[in-house]
Structure 1
Amino acid sequence: MLPAIGSLPIRIDGRVIGAIGASGAPSAVDVAVITAVIEAVVSPIGS
């Protein structure tokens, strides 16, 4: 995977299992939304 503005990897137990991205708002807002989603949905599944 290649890093891109507005996207972050999804990790479960230290392993990258995918990525998520957002667009349409300023980059800082996109990243804040993505981070919130990962914390709310993925974090309870693994570390």
Structure 2
Amino acid sequence: MSKSIKLLAMLGLVAGVAACGGKSSEEEFIVVDPEPISVEPVYTGKYK
């Protein structure tokens, strides 16, 4: 093989490895507090 074909094959291999095996990022895990089902009663005084 000529040197240019070997060079192109090597660059293609490097580009493929970089694209597939790049940075493996972990998924973010976000915890959200659930909203209360019922609202607590509010103090309005002795009599309404």
Tell me whether the two structures share a fold, i.e. TM-score over 0.5.
Answer: no
**Relative CO higher for 1 or 2, CA cutoff 8 Å, sep ≥ 6?**
1
Superposition TM-score, scaled by structure 2 size: 0.38
Superposition TM-score, scaled by structure 1 size: 0.38
Task: Flag the structure with larger Rg.
Answer: 2
The structure with the greater share of residues assigned to strand is: 1
